[in-house]
Structures are given as structure tokens and as C-alpha cells.
Amino acid sequence: MGIDVACGTFFDVCGIVGYLGDREALDIVISGLKRLEYRGYDSAGVALAADGAIEWRKKQGKIANLVGAIEDDPLPSATIGIGHTRWATHGAPTDANSHPHVARRIAIVHNGIIENHAPLRAELEAAGAEFTSETDSEVAAHLLESAVAGGAGLVDAMRQVVSRLEGAFTLVAIDAQDPDRIVAARRNSPLVVGVGDGEYFLASDVAAFIEHTRDAIELGQDQVVELTRDGVNVTTFDGAPAQTKAFHVDWDLQAAQKQGYDWFMRKEIFEQPHAVADTLLGRLNDNGELVLDEIRISPEELRRINKIVIVACGTAFYAGLVAKYAIEHWTRIPCEVEIASEFRYRDPIIDPMTLVVTISQSGETADTLMAIRHAREQHAKVIAICNTNGATIPRESDAVIYTHAGPEIGVASTKGFTTQLVACYLLGLYLAQVRGMKYGDEIAAVLGELERMPQEIQHLLDNQAPILELAEELKEEPSILFLGRHVGYPVALEGALKLKELAYIHAEGFPAGELKHGPIALVSQDLPMFVVVPPGGRDQLRDKVISNIAEVKARGARTIVLAEAGDEEARKHADHFIELPRISTLLQPLVAIVPLQLFACEVATLRGHDVDQPRNLAKSVTVE
């Protein structure tokens, strides 16, 4: 069976680890892979350079399978090793297609797509190379092997190879005859270096080495990194010295562990009060003005902006939909929100007066990255909202607002979403301040309410019992709908996405008012429908949603109504009533999403699914 890279029918989103030091490389690589398993879990493998040979094991399925294979057939002791955990959308995730790929003295792991793999493979096969997999990656192993066999050192060989590759790649290689060196190269695919005491690490994400060191080096685009026992050397693809940036990771191993929770996702839901508080921290100066230190775009430039375009994927896109309501209301700047994978293909109208805001938890989502590149080619200014220090998206943007959620390891985004909302609100308020659209006391009032959010979220978490009971009641339902209006609509979309991706239940979110234009035909006896009711007393929004609930209830739906405490009218229409704290309309998503996250997590648990690693998904989607 062949693969079809050019059509985009095959791609990897993988986790990579490399270790060079004086400890057992296998242990360190395996523990690093376990921390990266959220990136992909179709297969895993390791390769070591020991006693002048490459020794490797690779296995289809989760890392536990690989560990079992190594127990059955142990690997020798070594202090240098590389490892890989893979996610594939097409092409069988077989043992043979797993990484590492080995060509005589060379072993490589690869993340990305080598788009011109077909002609390279034909050329290598004509020259006698024997391929053992169907992957695009294996060409890199044979090309490197041929270069070192021709006399090149591993670094030069890597430079020769990358000059022949098209596409996106992180490539990491070891050479059996050079057991004191790991060489890696990156283009459009993540890689960071960890610097320990006499030992060095390479990984797709700092989580892989956080238990050994919190000192890291960001790698730029098109760079080659060489780890030796004496240190780290980074150069460009042409061999010139490269600029790098060292950074210290501000979270520790504890943050990357489950700490008694059954799932990372549940732990991350419960971390939201902290994550929201941390994201708000240090945003005011002594005069009570909002300061966003990271915004390197001058107030004059921000005053010239005449349009905002928010670009993101998945949950981050829904955060963007909420942001539109707040930003337009507070700044009166027209704001569009677009799915990143659609953005550049429709030739969007953007120019130097457009502010593009990208939202990405991982900072590595390829669709979003490509949208940024397109926007910058049109000379638009780009602000990234991101949770990952040193990731590609903030590096390639003009400015960044970091969310301080700590590592999000569960594949389903939770604290990522709520902290993205906070960052969007901060950006909206900052723009309003800079452009004189709001008085200082008005901004302070919203900030004051934002500061109350951690305790409100905590209150919801402390009172989760009814949600867990509801999950038990609805766990076998084949289909569940979510309704919302205004900012409740993106909450409905996000609630439905959580349920789809974790519980594998058909779920859809609709704008409550749109239901009567078609989707109401789906309503049948006992169909569960979650409805997010806006806070009352401020405009007609709430009353309209109450009417929408009455419409579906009249047709037999089972209603689960999320409304603020004391809304007795909403309660009347509810088969189940979930009390939300009293919050102003625009900020309500910060609390309304929490019960929906808990519900999806619990239903998936009750259905026996792997909540942290749902089928077919990966945490960071680093190819388009």
C-alpha cells in the first residue's frame, strides 16, 4: 500500500525525544515519550547507539506495548538514544511504519511530512536502498546513511539531507559509529532543547524533560542542532551560527502529573480557578491601567487598526467567537472570526490596518501558523494568544499574550479555553483603553469582575455532584444537542465538541434562535438538550432563550437548563437545572462552560473511554 502525501491523506503529529548524557538513555527516553503520548498514540519506538551498533524496538499501539516488547527482548545499556510516539490519520499504524527508521548505522525519528518523498524513494531504491516501511520518513534515514557512508560527519550529512527535503520536518538522528552526538533539524515542526547538568535533551515539548531540567533553548526555523557531551551547537541549514533564545520553564514536574486525579483532563478542569487567576496576574500598573507587557505593537499602531480578524481552530476558535462579542462591544472595531484552515484559501481582505489575533494553546497548530504567515505577507499585524512559551506561533507573531494555564496534557482543551477567554477579554479592554473607547472606571469594573471569576469557577467545581448524576443518567444517549444565544452560542458549540471528542456521542451546538429554521426537526421525545440561558434583567436576550426552551420542551425534549441562580422562570422549563453564578453577559462563558466540561469528562469515563487520549485525536496538530 502506498501513501499519498501530496493529497494530504497521510500525516503525522508526533512526539520526539532525544537524550545524551551519562544515565540510561532508554529510561529517560521512555519516560519522556510517556509525557508526550498526548501528541499521538498509534505507535512508539526507541533507538540507542550501543557498542558500535544501532539497537531499536518499535511497536504499534501505545507506549505500554513498546515497554512490553522491550521487556520481552531487552535493549543493551546506552547513554544516547532517541524515541518517537506517532499519530497517523491514514496508512496503517503498523510496527513497520513506526519510528525509528533505521538504515544501517543511522537511526532517525521524524515529525512532519516529507512532500517529495516519492522521487527521493525512487532514487534511493534505484541506488540499492532497501525500504522496510511505507512512510515518507524512511527516505531521510537512507539519505543520511548514504551521506555518512560517503564520508560526511553527521552534522554535514544532516545539512545535505535537509537541502533535499520539501515539506515540514523535525528530524533527529544518531549514528552508531558516533555515539557522542545527536543531530536534529527543524522546519515548520516543533523542537526544543533541554540543558541539564552534563546532559542534554531534545523534545517536541518541554514536558518530555521537565523532570530533569527546566532550562531550555528555543530553536528557530531552519536550524540544525548538535548535541555532544560538551554542549549544544545550533547553526542554520547553511552552517552559519544561529541565534537562539534560552528560557526557563515556569512550571514543574508536578504540573505534568495527574496528582491523584483519574485523568489529566479532570485535573485540568479543577485547575481552572488557578489558571484564570494566573492569567490575570500582573496586568495592572500602579495607576490601575491595564498593561499588556508582551504587546510590542505601539498604541499609535493599535489606534490605526480598522478591523480585527481572529483566527484559530477547534476550541480556540470558539474562544475567538466569544471574543468577537466582547471586542466589538468594547471597542466598536469590526471583528471577524475565522477557522484557521479556511483563512488563507479564501483570499481574505487584510492589509496593514488589520489586526490579526491568533489563538492557540499549543502554539504549534499548523493551520493557525499558516494563517499567520499569510497575514504577515499582507503586512497585517499579528497578536498571538498562546499557552506555550517559545512555541512557533508566538515566535512568528508581532506580539503575544501568554495565558498562564500551565501544561495542558489532556487532549481535550479545558483550562486552555477559559484562559484564552481571559486573554481575549484583556485584549479587548486594552484596545478600548488605548483607543479611548472606555473610561478607566469602566475597564476597572470589568477587571474587577474578572478577578472574581476564580472563586466563581471554584464554587461550580465544589458543587459538581448534580453534573455527575446527570452524566450517569445520560451516558447511553446516542445524541445530545446544545443551545445558546449571543456568547452562549460558542459555549454550546464547545460543550458539544467536548462531548463528541471524548464520549463519541453525536452532539451539536446551535444558536437557540436558529433552531426553528430547521434543526428543530431533530427534536424528538426525550432528546436531551442543554440550554445556556443568558443572565436576566439586562435586555431581551434571556427572555428569547426562555421562549426557545419552551419551544423544544413542547416538542418533548428533555431540557438541561444552565441559568443564573434565582432564575425561577428558567427553572420552570427545566427537567434539570444547573445553577450558574450571577455574572455579566459577556463574561458568562467563563462559568457556563465548566459544567459542560465536567459532564463530557464524566460521560466519557462512564462509557469506559480513554479521556486523555480519545481515539483518532492528538493534542497538537502540527501539519495542515
Q: Residues interacting with ligand M6R, by CB under 6 A?
A: 313-316, 360-362, 365, 368, 411-413, 416, 501, 617, 620-621
**How far is it, in rounded angstroms, from Cα 274 to Cα 259?**
15
Give min distance, CB of 468 to ligand M6R, in A. Answer: 20
Three cell numbers at 107? 537511526
361 versus 559: smaller Cβ distance to ligand M6R: 361
Which of residues 384 and 557 has its CB atom nearest to ligand M6R in the complex? 384
Annotated catalytic residue: which of 34, 381, 500, 619? 619
> What string of DSSP letters covers 238-264?
TS-B---EEEE-SS-GGGGS-TT-S-H
Distance (Å, rounded) from C-alpha 113 to C-alpha 302? Answer: 37
DSSP E strand stretches across 104-252: 106-114, 167-175, 181-187, 192-195, 200-203, 215-218, 223-228, 231-236, 245-248
DSSP-derived secondary structure for 541-589:
HHHHHHHHHHHHHHTTPEEEEEEETT-HHHHHT-SEEEEE----GGGTH
- Rounded to the nearest 5 degrees, what angle is found at the Cα of 133, between the Cα atoms of 128 and 139? 55
Of the two residues 368 and 548, which places its CB atom closer to ligand M6R in the complex? 368
Three-class SS string for 383-432? EEEECCCCCHHHHCCCEEEECCCCCCCCCCCCHHHHHHHHHHHHHHHHHH
Sign of CA dihedral 393, 394, 396, 400: positive
As measured in angstroms, the least distance from the Cβ of 507 to ligand M6R is 13
Beta bridge partners of 509: 482
Minimum gap (Å) between residue 201 Cβ and ligand M6R: 22
Q: Residue 96 or residue 339: which is nearer to ligand M6R going by CB?
A: 339
Please give the helix or strand (H or E) that residue 376 lies within, else none.
helix 366-377
Burial 606-621 (b: 16+ CB within 10 A, else e): eeeeebbbbeebbbbb
Report d(CA 159, CA 149) in Å as an integer: 15
Within its chain, how far is the Cα of 79 from the centroid? 31
| Residue 14 bears catalytic tag | yes
The smaller minimum CB distance to ligand M6R, of residues 234 and 359, is found at 359
Dist. CA 505–CA 266, nearest whole Å: 19
Complex with ligand M6R: residue 314 or 589, whichever CB lies closer = 314
Q: Which is nearer to ligand M6R, 280 or 496 (CB)?
A: 496
Q: Which of 14, 313, 386, 601 does the annotation list as catalytic? A: 14
Do residues 370 and 323 make contact, with C-beta atoms less than 8 angstroms apart? no
Residues 248 and 215 sit within 8 Å (Cβ to Cβ): yes
Q: Kindly tell me which of 26 and 457 has the beta carbon lying closer to ligand M6R.
A: 457
Catalytic (active site) residue 307: no
Residue 139: its H or E element: helix 138-149
CB-nearer residue toward ligand M6R: 503 or 546: 503
Q: Least CB distance from residue 418 to ligand M6R, whole Å?
A: 12
Q: Shortest approach of ligand M6R to residue 257 CB, angstroms?
A: 21
Q: Which residue is nearest to ligand M6R (CB)?
A: 314
Q: What backbone phi and psi angles, to 5 degrees, belong to 6? A: -55, -35
CB of 501 to ligand M6R, least distance (A): 6
- Using DSSP's 3-state secondary structure scheme, residue 170 falls into strand
Q: In what order do the strands lie in the sheet with 335-339?
A: 335-339, 307-312, 354-360, 381-386, 399-402
3 state DSSP class of 498: helix
Rg for the chain, CA atoms, rounded? 25
CB 356, CB 378: distance < 8 Å: no
Contact 456, 581 (CB under 8 A): yes
Asked if 43 and 98 count as a contact pair (C-beta separation under 8 A), the reply is yes
Closest to ligand M6R by CB, 424 vs 563, is: 424
Pairing, β 181-187 against β 167-175? antiparallel
* Catalytic annotation, residues: 14, 619
